[in-house]
Structure 1
Amino acid sequence: MKTIITIIFIIFLSFTAQAQNNTDNVKVETIEMTIVTETTYELNLETETEVARLYKFKNSRIKRDLNFITKANKAKMA
């Protein structure tokens, strides 16, 4: 009984999906572009200098994160 109801339900859904009107035709405007045969290269002589940070302090956040020591690595007293 359950299988018959599910088959009827699937058939009903397929008929309702096919009964929808999808008559909207979307027209796309095309753009004509020409082929470029000449290329020019520009040299950028201005260079940007970036600053790298050095941390003096032992407990700085980045050094602490890079050390990554877990509790399992510590020695235990027997």
Structure 2
Amino acid sequence: MKTIFTIIAITFFGTMASAQDFSKEAKVETIAMGVELKVEINHTVRKDRKTARLYKFKNSRIKKELSFKTKKDRAKLA
């Protein structure tokens, strides 16, 4: 009984909501204006730059140097 009442209520309110008059749309006048783009690029070449390496992971150089292995680190068969 409760489900039947719920379905009837949903269809009733849905029908009432769709029966509203939404045709009152306000029309707005638009103005077209031209856009002017001025871009000036001052590019100076510096020859005293040093190359820098960009690593994918943070602290990769430190991790590489700290993860060294010696011959005595290997497991031995007993």
TM-score (norm 1): 0.45
Whichever of the two has the greater Rg, that structure is: 2
TM-score (norm 2): 0.45
Q: Which has the bigger relative contact order, CA under 8 A and spacing at least 6? A: 1
